Structure 1
Amino acid sequence: MSILSRRHLLRRAALSADATGAPGPTRAPAPPTAEADAPAGALRFPPGFGWGAATSAYQIEGAAKEDGRGESIWDTFSRTPGRTRNGDTGDVAADHYRRWPEDLDLMRDLGLRSYRFSVSWPRIQADGTGRPNQRGLDFYRRLVDGLHERGIAPMVTLFHWDLPQALQDAGGWENRDTAYRFADYAGAVFEGLGDQVPVWLTINEPKTVVQNGYLWGHHAPGRQDADAAYLVAHHLQLAHGLAVRALRATGSPARIGPALNLHPCYPADDTAAAAAATRLYDGYENRLYLDSIFTGAYPADVLADLGPDSRLVRGITDGDLEIISSPVDLLAVQYYTPIYVTASGGTAQRWPTSEAEWQQIYPDGMYDILTRVTRDYGPVPLTVTENGLPCPDTLGADDTVDDAGRIGFLRDHFAAAHRAIGAGVPLESYHVWSLLDNFEWAEGYDQRWGLVYVDYPTQRRILKRSAHWYRQVIADNGL
């Protein structure tokens, strides 16, 4: 790989994260949005549309050492001085492991139709292998049963970044064997939760693991090795395909697919050089993951850019792409920001940013990425599994949180999704990130993304203004 390519990869890592606190462009004032309390009724979504919210295990569960849970790479990373803001960890987080009945009641009261959450791998297999921990499985079974009792459909993510530390010690995702250990773990969860889960998601945002964990290094495991990063990408894709096959082998009627954070890429100017650079940038951001899953091949331009001696190219064995492209039932799309690419392969800011300075606020990007997926890969059913905004939320003296900016953001993105449905996109559901304020990875507890305010000293939950607004959106099935 050339020095130029390595520099561009690191540049991508800096600007290409999901809700992670990655370095990014200078923050600008919030953009104008629709009036937060405008009358509902202008836009109606299809009957039965799956309005939901999302969380992940390490960010909300806490109980880091309870009931047989093992260590994850995020336990190690967050407890290492200097790795997270204020030295924050997920040891307690939002204490969801103890407070799950209260949280499920909140979801019911909001009218949620779907709840997307993740299973903690080290809670099921402390060391990433072997007999599953029944206490861990029982927790998720109670959670799933509780959702059904409240009329909420569970959508379960198998891996949301909390790799067992024991597997990291054996090479982590650089070790091909980890993909097979993931398939074993997935099989144990399929067996443990049975037919109570209608939708499974395999790997959450493999791109974020690659870029933030192995290029930029501000996520666990904290590496900065471009050549290792794309071998990791291949093994994550392989793990996805193996998990799809593991579910098929059970004969389950459940649906399964990946969860990809997709960033629409646009040229920063009208030059041919910017167009060419954007095409390659899109290859690393989107096509590396989409093409391998839906066409059974990695993008030729990305492979050429990496070079024939890259660890990714050398790590592909016969049959890998066939496994990776095992047919899926749906695609989970996570949209946060567009990327504008310059002629030199760098990036530019075109829109105001949120408190997460890497996030440019551009609702039309939602429309563009949803229609692009349908246009390029066919009518695979889609679900939005993450979209949201961090706000400077404060608890008022009257016990309210006025997050009007979040309402405007969600309104504009919902409208873009509605427009995509009108253009023929088979979008089934939409999950706001996130249900609760939580541990926001490298940013610790400084950023609040939730519909529900968490007062961390007491763990009290308070519905924000956006939660009350979202409840009405769900009741009206529209805006």
Structure 2
Amino acid sequence: MNARDDAMAEAEAFATIIPPGFVIGAATAAFQVEGGVHDGGRELSVWDEFTHQSGRILGGANADVAADHFHRVGEDVALMADLGIDSYRFSFGWPRLQPGGSGSLNREGIAFYDRLLDELLAAGISPMATLFHWDTPVELRGSWLNRDTAGRFGDYAYQVGEVFGDRVDRWVTINEPATVMLNGYALGIHAPGTTLLFDAVPAGHHQLLGHGLAVQALRAASVRGEIGVTNVHSPVSAATSTDEDEAYAALFDIVHNRMFGDATLLGRYPTIPEEFAVALRPLVEVSPEDLAIIHQPLDFYGLNYYFPTRIAAGTGSSSSPDGEAPALSALPFHLEPWPEFARTGFGWPNAPEFLGVALAELASRYGEALPPVYITEGGVSLPDTVLLDADTGVARIADSARIDYLSAHLESALSATAPGGAASAVDLRGYYVWSLLDNFEWAAGYSQRFGLVHVNFTTLDRTPKQSFGWLRRVLEARS
């Protein structure tokens, strides 16, 4: 048996652990793949503005073209069909569908997503659509610091639901509000680039309010699909057992995990320790009316998992897991490394066992309030090895480490949620690989490749990687 036969046999063996009906998908986000920023009536988002500011993006990159999905949607759906995924998670571009963030929807934007949805359904691929994946229209000044943006988002959600509600199987209202609040408003790594530290908390609350209004709007529009939200969860550990480390680990758990999960699933914010009550005043003084709007019944809960977090008291490095963040030096705590784990291309710890921990935390914290769960993002950035066939000159992309990553994380999730597992109470319904395509990776520009499909960002040619072939074989071999 040769190496190729070995790989195929391993894929077939792995397929046996996937339960019947378990959804395997791939994910992207509009700003990261579409390009065509001035095409089809699209206007600018805060990320367009941010990427064209000097020094914001590694290498001075921008997403004006990105992976050019806007012009190559047919080619990309054909790749998905060849891969054999059950579902595709994408996001509607708010500035493409509703330029300026108000008024009626843009016809050319509707036509683009009409084509995408129709081609997905024709290929037998179930659409999961995210309403907001970070691309706030630039005209909404103040963005999520402005409470009015939540209302605008609800209006937008209603119109999108009216137009596309007959063809979307699952709706995600907002993707990772914690990342938007922390990286965009607190630390300045992401758009809009403010460094407000704890004064960024209102941006998180307003996103949650927008989520609740969007759920109400989608139901008012009578969409046929299920409705949920996606939060990123990072299991948090104290670096030591000292009171200070434990206190700051609990604080980070609140602002990264608990305020978003508790508000959406329990209808309340977590209890704030007295020493942090001033810093987190918006969570202490929140109105019951706001919490009632946020706490909408959900059909599913989306979990994004990438790595665990270790917290220690005291100032530390200015580097966050997502890039340089000088504002971190103003905080009374810092992130400690995980030397026991290998690191991804981003420098993140490769810790699949902590995906099981994240699921177990959801089960223990939310119990019967937790609806069925989809892992809506899981994936890894790694340097790909481009090999040329000596006879044909055809490129082959070797990324066996990505195969190892995906198989280990998927196995961790399925083991944790199996009978007798630490998260056996979780009804885990699916896993979406981040990402279908190499894309514009926010502040890291084009330096980090997450894709199952390699994109040459000069020619825009697509080349399926070794991991693409592995996943296709797994999907073919399922019972």
Name the TM-score, length of structure 1 as normaliser.
Answer: 0.88
1:331 matched to 2:322? The reply is no
Query: What is the CA distance between 1:36 and its match in structure 2?
Result: 7.1
Query: In 1, distance between residues paired with 2:214 and 2:238?
Result: 36
| Larger RCO, structure (CA 8 Å, separation 6 or more) | 1
Q: Determine the structure 1 residue equivalent to 2:3.
A: none
Give, as a single letter, the amino acid of the residue that structure 1 aligns with 2:232: N
Query: In 1, distance between residues paired with 2:150 and 2:334?
Result: 33
Q: Determine the structure 1 residue equivalent to 2:253.
A: 282
Query: In 1, distance between residues paired with 2:246 and 2:82?
Result: 48
Query: What is the CA distance between 1:80 and its match in structure 2?
Result: 1.1
Query: What is the CA distance between 1:220 and its match in structure 2?
Result: 0.5
Q: Determine the structure 2 residue equivalent to 1:230.
A: 201
Query: In 2, distance between residues paired with 1:37 and 1:352?
Result: 26
3-state DSSP of counterpart to 1:127:
helix
Query: In 2, distance between residues paired with 1:282 and 1:128?
Result: 32
3-state DSSP of counterpart to 1:417:
helix
Query: What is the CA distance between 1:192 and its match in structure 2?
Result: 1.1
1:218 matched to 2:189? The reply is yes
Note if contact 1:303-1:313 (Cα within 8 Å) is conserved in structure 2: no
- 1:401-412 equivalence runs, <5 A: 401-412=397-408
Give, as a single letter, the amino acid of the residue that structure 2 aligns with 1:291: D
Query: In 2, distance between residues paired with 1:108 and 1:166?
Result: 37
Question: Relative to structure 1, is the Cα distance of residues 343 and 84 closer, same or farther in structure 2, using a 3 angstrom cutoff?
Answer: closer
Q: Determine the structure 2 residue equivalent to 1:71.
A: 44
Q: In the alignment, which of 19, 22, 40 is matched to residue 46 of structure 1?
A: 19
3-state DSSP of counterpart to 2:53:
coil
Note if contact 2:165-2:224 (Cα within 8 Å) is conserved in structure 1: no
1:381 matched to 2:372? The reply is yes
1:299 matched to 2:270? The reply is yes
3-state DSSP of counterpart to 2:362:
helix
Give, as a single letter, the amino acid of the residue that structure 2 aligns with 1:347: L
Q: Determine the structure 2 residue equivalent to 1:181.
A: 152
Note if contact 1:62-1:97 (Cα within 8 Å) is conserved in structure 2: yes
Query: In 2, distance between residues paired with 1:253 and 1:355?
Result: 39
Between 268-277 and 364-373, the greater mean CA deviation after superposition: 268-277
Query: In 2, distance between residues paired with 1:139 and 1:253?
Result: 21
Query: In 2, distance between residues paired with 1:452 and 1:303?
Result: 49
Q: In the alignment, which of 178, 202, 220 is matched to residue 249 of structure 1?
A: 220
- 1:31-430 equivalence runs, <5 A: 39=10, 40-41=12-13, 43-167=16-140, 169=141, 171-301=142-272, 305-307=276-278, 310-311=281-282, 313=284, 316-342=286-312, 345-350=333-338, 351-357=341-347, 359-378=348-367, 379-398=370-389, 399-422=395-418, 423=421, 424=424, 425-430=426-431
Runs (4 or more) in structure 1 with deviation over 6 Å come to: 35-38
Question: Relative to structure 1, is the Cα distance of residues 354 and 416 closer, same or farther in structure 2, using a 3 angstrom cutoff?
Answer: same
Between 342-351 and 48-57, the greater mean CA deviation after superposition: 342-351
Give, as a single letter, the amino acid of the residue that structure 1 aligns with 2:409: H
Question: Relative to structure 1, is the Cα distance of residues 227 and 160 closer, same or farther in structure 2, using a 3 angstrom cutoff?
Answer: same
Note if contact 1:36-1:408 (Cα within 8 Å) is conserved in structure 2: no
1:455 matched to 2:456? The reply is yes
Query: What is the CA distance between 1:397 and its match in structure 2?
Result: 1.8
Between 240-249 and 347-356, the greater mean CA deviation after superposition: 347-356
Give, as a single letter, the amino acid of the residue that structure 2 aligns with 1:133: N
CA RMSD, Structure 1 to Structure 2 (Å): 1.9
Question: Relative to structure 1, is the Cα distance of residues 75 and 442 closer, same or farther in structure 2, using a 3 angstrom cutoff?
Answer: same
Note if contact 2:165-2:222 (Cα within 8 Å) is conserved in structure 1: no
Question: Relative to structure 1, is the Cα distance of residues 92 and 448 closer, same or farther in structure 2, using a 3 angstrom cutoff?
Answer: same
Query: In 2, distance between residues paired with 1:438 and 1:65?
Result: 18
Deviations 1:419-442 (CA, angstroms, capped at 9, x unpaired): 022032211110010000000111
Question: Relative to structure 1, is the Cα distance of residues 41 and 231 closer, same or farther in structure 2, using a 3 angstrom cutoff?
Answer: same
Name the TM-score, length of structure 2 as normaliser.
Answer: 0.88
3-state DSSP of counterpart to 1:195:
coil
Identity %: 43
Deviations 1:133-165 (CA, angstroms, capped at 9, x unpaired): 111112111111110100000000000000000
Give, as a single letter, the amino acid of the residue that structure 1 aligns with 2:294: I
Query: What is the CA distance between 1:308 and its match in structure 2?
Result: 7.6
Query: In 2, distance between residues paired with 1:303 and 1:236?
Result: 25
Give, as a single letter, the amino acid of the residue that structure 2 aligns with 1:404: S
Q: Determine the structure 1 residue equivalent to 2:477.
A: 476
Query: In 1, distance between residues paired with 2:385 and 2:163?
Result: 40
Note if contact 1:36-1:407 (Cα within 8 Å) is conserved in structure 2: no
Give, as a single letter, the amino acid of the residue that structure 2 aligns with 1:335: Y
Deviations 1:214-253 (CA, angstroms, capped at 9, x unpaired): 1110110000012431010100000000001111212333
Which runs of 5 or more residues in structure 2 are unaligned?
Answer: 1-5, 315-332, 390-394
Give, as a single letter, the amino acid of the residue that structure 2 aligns with 1:346: H
Which runs of 5 or more residues in structure 1 are unaligned?
Answer: 1-34
Q: Determine the structure 2 residue equivalent to 1:29.
A: none
Note if contact 2:8-2:473 (Cα within 8 Å) is conserved in structure 1: no
Query: In 2, distance between residues paired with 1:278 and 1:312?
Result: 18
Query: In 1, distance between residues paired with 2:342 and 2:351?
Result: 8
Query: What is the CA distance between 1:348 and its match in structure 2?
Result: 1.8
Note if contact 1:374-1:380 (Cα within 8 Å) is conserved in structure 2: no
Question: Relative to structure 1, is the Cα distance of residues 303 and 195 closer, same or farther in structure 2, using a 3 angstrom cutoff?
Answer: farther
